[in-house]
Amino acid sequence: MYVGKPIKRIEDSKFLTGRSTYVDDIEFPGTLFVAFLRSVKPHAKIKIRKTSDNIFTGEDINPGSDFPIPVEETTYVGQPLAMVVARDRYEAYDLLESIEIEYEELPFVIDPQEALKNDVKVYTKKESNIYEYKKWEAGNTEESLKEADLVINGELYNQRVIANPLETRGILAHFDGNRLNVWSSTQSAHYLRRNLMNFLGIDNIRVIQPDVGGAFGSKIIAHPEEYAVAKLALKLKRPLKWIPTRSEEMQSAGHGRDKRLRFKVGVKRDGTILGIEGTIIADLGAPYPDANDDEIGNVHSTIRMMLGPYRIQNVKIEEYAVNTNKAPTQSYRGAGRPEATYFIERIINIISLELGKDEFDIRERNLIRELPYKNALGITYDSGDYMGLLNKAREYYQSLKKEANVDECVGSSMYVEITAFGPWETARILAKSDGKIIIITGSGPHGQGDGTAFAQIVADVLEVPIENIEVRWGDTDIISDGIGTWGSRTLTIGGSAMYKAAEELKRRLIEVSAKMLNADAEEIEYKNGIFSHKKSGKSITLKEVIQNAYSMGYSLDVTYVYNVTKPGYTVPYGVHMALVKVDKETGSVRVRKYVALDDVGKVVNPLLAEGQIIGGAVQGIGQAIYEEAIYSKEGYLLNSNLTDYGFPTAMEVPRIEWHYIEKGLSSHPTNSKGIGEAGAIASTPAVINAIEKCIGKRILKMPTKLEEVI
Amino acid sequence: MKVYSPNEKTVIRLRINGQIYETEITPRKLLVEVLRELGFKSVHIGCDTSQCGACTVILNDRSVKSCTVLGIEADGSDIITLEGLAKDGMLHPIQEAFWETHALQCGYCTPGMILEAYWLLKEKPNPTEEEIREGISGNLCMCTGYLNIIKAIKRASEIISTKKS
Ligand code: FES
Ligand code: FES
């Protein structure tokens, strides 16, 4: 069995030897380089004068519309306004300097709380800055607050951060006379293809996702530049490449989070939470439809997951999702769920400090006792043992507390998280006549290592050495279709498709072997690559069966579409704990040790799962102590480079210990749940809760600033 | 003294992974671009402010961010990129250790990270954890959270010292 073992990644060899191929590594003869002129005004009417034939504007891309490339009106600093095409990137950036652009400045609004008053329009052609207003209600919150011994008010801000994958976005588009070929640093070739088809109105498009240097949610949507370059490639019939600089990337992509909660929570003396009332304001940034569509789903996730693993029956949340004149927000690792966990786990910490009660006691008192459980806002938590895990976590918590020195505190958070979204995913498996087995997924891994996990799953089903299996993905030509890699779905949904495809292949092989052995399929026993006839004792090898299948006219090429049934997600949970050191003299904060305990169902590969937890936890710690996209009042992003934007280096990361239990299996064939985002969800509140204890005052926003800690 | 004019191309010679390359470049071209154009695509670009270290190469025995060196400045120098680290199809112990400890995910920082580790272990064959952390603090990784990289470098130092003894 490979499943469950810490199998080393089969993908690694090319990365370790410098033979990987990211989008900027691909070249065609005659490739031209594209660069974008970006808005320096948060809101303005624009007029662009083309001083050369190599300059293109919104008119060339989307005449009559301001999205993806504005024709008349720009709505954020960093928005692409015009593009140039040149022989190389040096000349392209020279040419950018020559573009003549006139801005007629318009009033703008940066603060979402101002924006929702609608005094100043983010975009003059939109009725309202409020993208969505909604009330979320269950139970009787007013009553519950009246019955409470204590009502705590507060305001929490989960600030805007930037995903910053180490490789930026980038695209190479090439019309070959017949169809458009697109290579992009994206999270899904198939999804990008669908987006481009809709935009361009043609269907002969092939998209390839080459190696991708991370994404963390920032490369799900099709970006304005991707649409524009694709369109221009059709027009110019030359291969076009676009790779932004890091500063451009930070100004224009990967912005996430940015949600505020004003809340009232009613509790009894014993810590029972009776009800929560509040208002959520989510800043969507500028009205770029692809990003807004993406982020609005995340806003809903924030609200629906805000009840955490607790039996809170009374809830009333007013939601405002608001446009502002900032870069549009998108999914960022966790995509709405980190904010949810942040809000509720901060509230738990505040309750525990107000009541002078241990945070684990507060959790225990309110914890869901029986699963499955449908929370008051309709999310079904499917399986697991919340209390068992909480108790186990308590032991780690106690021993962490023992380790803490006088200037150190331990904080914790418990999360539940929705993962493995549908609607479906594909897998294709084929056996070559020489015996080689090739598996292809419709998802689009970009660092997470799912290729190895898929090979483990298939090797187990087919009972073959993992070395016999080759894994591929990321080309719309090699598999019928696909969804993509996000929502911590790949291993579970993509893996279940893979599992089913492998089973179907095995079924066919048994059928072939039965014919070869003059037996009925039921009489065949398959074990470790050998098919035997139970009665006659005769046997043949997998390789022979595969070879013969071809001669007998059987296809050994199986595509399986795994359809995700209701509720369309599965729910892992866990408790994370952080030991932080706070220097009250200098205000510096450092996480010294971190312990995570998760139940993500069946762990297919603990080495890779742990890698996901550590990576996610460090990003969440980054949000707590270092990172923030800071906008000036004038609408400029003040820290659009890696020097000014704080980011943890190897110096800052704590030791991280990861533990797991496998109590809450999912109902998918893999029995797994997603883990890709859990670390980033749980770590931020765990760290802030610890700091809050140490400094003895409430923390309202992040990152914790030196001057606020002192 | 040689005077360069902005648009005039100059021939430079570089010894990369033991082989001599000659190429004609304008004075403003960055070494990172020169190396990539010569086919050394493992040299990556992750930023525009010399922060990330994805472009790290070994230049005349020192680790250098090649995005912060002009091609013409490097004329005559000796450079090692990740492509040159494995010898006779055998992975270098650092590459081995990165694989073993799962010290890479998307792989984009990996070339720079491995070369930085290579230089670090030349300087300090038996680094402490603190020295490793400090040693790679000029190299950002957005995926791994660094811990497995630190582990890999420690492990590589062990492999190298057992090989020597
Ligand atoms: S590319 Fe970031 S330091 Fe060189
Ligand atoms: S492995 Fe992705 S940046 Fe390091």
Interface confidence, given as ipTM, is: 0.98
Question: Chain B residue closest to A447 (CA)?
Answer: B106
Under DSSP, is residue A353 helix (H, G, I), strand (E, B) or coil? helix
What percentage of residues in chain A have a pLDDT greater than 90? 98
Task: For residue B164, give every residue at least 6 positions away whose Cβ sits within 8 Å of its Cβ, in sequence order, or none.
Answer: none
**Residues A539-585: tens digit of each pLDDT:** 999 999 999 999 999 999 999 999 999 899 999 999 999 999 999 88
Structural contact between residues A221 and A290, judged by C-beta atoms closer than 8 angstroms: yes
Average pLDDT over residues A149-169: 98
Chain A, residues 241-270, CB within 8 A of chain B, namely: 243, 245-247
Pairing of strands B78-80, B10-16: parallel
Give distance in angstroms: CA of A159 to centre of ligand 2. 24
Handedness of CA A285, A289, A293, A296 (dihedral sign): positive
Ligand 2 binding pocket includes B140 (Cβ within 6 Å): no
Distances (CA, A) of A570 to A333, A599, A672: 17, 12, 9
Give distance in angstroms: CA of A632 to centre of ligand 1. 26
Nearest CA owner, ligand 2 atom 4: B141
Give distance in angstroms: CA of A649 to centre of ligand 1. 14
Burial of A536 (0-12, 13-18, 19+ CB in 10 A): exposed
Nearest to A18 among B50, B83, B145 (CB): B83
Buried b (16+ CB within 10 A) or exposed e, B122-149: eeeeebeeeebbebbebbbbbbbbbbbb
Instruction: Compute the distance between CA of residue B117 and CA of residue A423 in angstroms, rounded to an integer.
Output: 43
Give distance in angstroms: CA of A580 to centre of ligand 1. 31
Ligand 2 probe mutation, B108, B139, B150, most atoms within 8 A of CB: B108
Sequence-ordered strand ranges (E) for A15-77: 32-38, 44-49, 55-57, 73-74
What pLDDT was estimated at residue A585? 87
What pLDDT was estimated at residue B1? 76
Give distance in angstroms: CA of A387 to centre of ligand 1. 47
**Residues B77-100: tens digit of each pLDDT:** 999 999 999 988 899 999 999 999
Q: Over 80: is that where the pLDDT of A95 sits?
A: yes
Nearest ligand for residue B52 CA: 1
Q: Over 80: is that where the pLDDT of A318 sits?
A: yes
Average pLDDT over residues B96-111: 98
CA distance B73 to chain A (A): 18
Nearest to B46 among A167, A619, A656 (CB): A167
Task: For residue A198, give every residue at least 6 positions away whose Cβ sits within 8 Å of its Cβ, in sequence order, or none.
Answer: none
Task: For residue A185, give every residue at least 6 positions away whose Cβ sits within 8 Å of its Cβ, in sequence order, or none.
Answer: A22, A23, A167, A168, A169, A170, A171, A209, A210, A212, A213, A215, A219
B70 lies within 8 A of chain A by CB: no
- What residues pair up with A659 in beta bridges, in sequence order? A597
φ/ψ of residue A264, rounded to 5: -130, 130
Nearest to A47, CA basis, from A80, A81, A75: A81
CB atoms within 10 A of CB A107: 12
Nearest to A624, CA basis, from A278, A187, A280, A161: A161
What pLDDT was estimated at residue B89? 84
The H-or-E segment that residue A234 falls in is helix A224-236
Q: Which residues in chain A are contacts of B32 at CB distance < 8 A?
A: none
Pairing of strands A373-374, A205-208: unpaired
Q: Which tokens go with A171?
A: 């695209």
Residue A494 DSSP code: I
Ligand 2 binding pocket includes A449 (Cβ within 6 Å): no
Nearest to A17 among B86, B106, B142 (CB): B86
Instruction: Compute the distance between CA of residue A376 and CA of residue A136 in angstroms, rounded to an integer.
Output: 10
CB atoms within 10 A of CB A230: 28
The H-or-E segment that residue A429 falls in is strand A424-431
Instruction: Compute the distance between CA of residue A225 and CA of residue A169 in angstroms, rounded to an integer.
Output: 9
**Which region among A48-52, A461-465, A653-657, B114-118 has the lowest average model confidence (pLDDT)?**
A48-52
A686 lies within 8 A of chain B by CB: no
A647 lies within 8 A of chain B by CB: yes
Ligand 1 binding pocket includes B53 (Cβ within 6 Å): yes
Ligand 2 binding pocket includes B94 (Cβ within 6 Å): no
A677 lies within 8 A of chain B by CB: no
Q: Which tokens go with A278?
A: 């509040």
Report the amino acid identity of residue B40.
F
Selected residue of B37, B66, B106, B128 to mutate for chain A interface (largest A Cβ count, 10 A): B106
CB atoms within 10 A of CB A64: 8
Structural contact between residues A204 and A179, judged by C-beta atoms closer than 8 angstroms: yes
What percentage of residues in chain B have a pLDDT greater than 70? 100
Average pLDDT over residues A124-135: 97
Average pLDDT over residues A223-250: 98
Q: Which residues in chain A are contacts of B109 at CB distance < 8 A?
A: 166, 213
Q: Estimate to the nearest angstrom the gap between the alpha carbon of B133 and the chain centroid.
A: 17
Instruction: Compute the distance between CA of residue A405 and CA of residue A396 in angstroms, rounded to an integer.
Output: 16
Q: Over 90: is that where the pLDDT of A204 sits?
A: yes
Average pLDDT over residues A316-336: 98
Handedness of CA B56, B58, B62, B67 (dihedral sign): negative
A128, HSE (Cβ side, Cα atoms, 13 Å): 9
What pLDDT was estimated at residue A709? 77
**Residues A362-371: tens digit of each pLDDT:** 999 999 999 9
Q: Which tokens go with A626?
A: 């270092």
Q: Which tokens go with A97?
A: 């300097």
φ/ψ of residue B67, rounded to 5: -80, -5
Q: Estimate to the nearest angstrom the gap between the alpha carbon of B21 and the chain centroid.
A: 18
Distances (CA, A) of B164 to A252, B55, B80, B125, B161: 50, 30, 22, 11, 5
What pLDDT was estimated at residue A84? 98
Ligand 1 binding pocket includes B46 (Cβ within 6 Å): yes
Ligand 1 binding pocket includes B43 (Cβ within 6 Å): no
Under DSSP, is residue A259 helix (H, G, I), strand (E, B) or coil? strand
Task: List strands edge to edge, sheet with A557-563.
Answer: A469-473, A437-441, A424-431, A557-563
Ligand 2 atom with minimal separation from the A165 CA: 3
Task: For residue A393, give every residue at least 6 positions away whose Cβ sits within 8 Å of its Cβ, in sequence order, or none.
Answer: A360, A412, A414, A574, A575, A577, A597
Q: Which residues in chain A are contacts of B81 at CB distance < 8 A?
A: 18
CB atoms within 10 A of CB B108: 30
Structural contact between residues A562 and A480, judged by C-beta atoms closer than 8 angstroms: no
What pLDDT was estimated at residue A546? 97
**Residues A631-642: tens digit of each pLDDT:** 999 999 999 999
Nearest to A576, CA basis, from A491, A489, A476, A660: A660
3-state secondary structure A367-393: ECCCCCEECCCCCEECCCCHHHHHHHH
Q: Where do the H-state alpha helices sit in A244-332?
A: 246-252, 289-304
Q: Over 80: is that where the pLDDT of A26 sits?
A: yes
Under DSSP, is residue A453 helix (H, G, I), strand (E, B) or coil? helix
Is the CB of B100 less than 8 angstroms away from the CB of A8?
A: yes
Instruction: Compute the distance between CA of residue A621 and CA of residue A669 in angstroms, rounded to an integer.
Output: 33
Task: For residue B99, give every residue at least 6 positions away whose Cβ sits within 8 Å of its Cβ, in sequence order, or none.
Answer: A8, A9, A12, A13, A16, B91
Q: Over 90: is that where the pLDDT of B165 sits?
A: no
The DSSP line for B6-18 is TT--EEEEEEETT
Average pLDDT over residues B43-48: 98
B140 lies within 8 A of chain A by CB: yes
Structural contact between residues A581 and A644, judged by C-beta atoms closer than 8 angstroms: no
Structural contact between residues B46 and A167, judged by C-beta atoms closer than 8 angstroms: yes
Average pLDDT over residues A330-351: 98
Average pLDDT, chain A: 97
- pLDDT grade for B163, boundaries at 50, 70 and 90: confident
Q: What share of chain B is helix, strand, coil (3-state, %, to 5)?
A: 40, 20, 45
Nearest ligand for residue A167 CA: 2
Nearest to A112, CA basis, from A319, A317, A282: A282
- pLDDT grade for A117, boundaries at 50, 70 and 90: very high
3-state secondary structure A508-574: HHHHHHHHHCCCCHHHEEEECCEEEECCCCCEEEHHHHHHHHHHCCCCCEEEEEEECCCCCCECCEE
Can you state the angle between helices A450-462 and A495-516, rounded to 10 degrees?
30
φ/ψ of residue A329, rounded to 5: -85, 155
Structural contact between residues A546 and A526, judged by C-beta atoms closer than 8 angstroms: no
**Residues A477-493: tens digit of each pLDDT:** 999 999 999 999 999 99
Ligand 2 atom with minimal separation from the A213 CA: 2
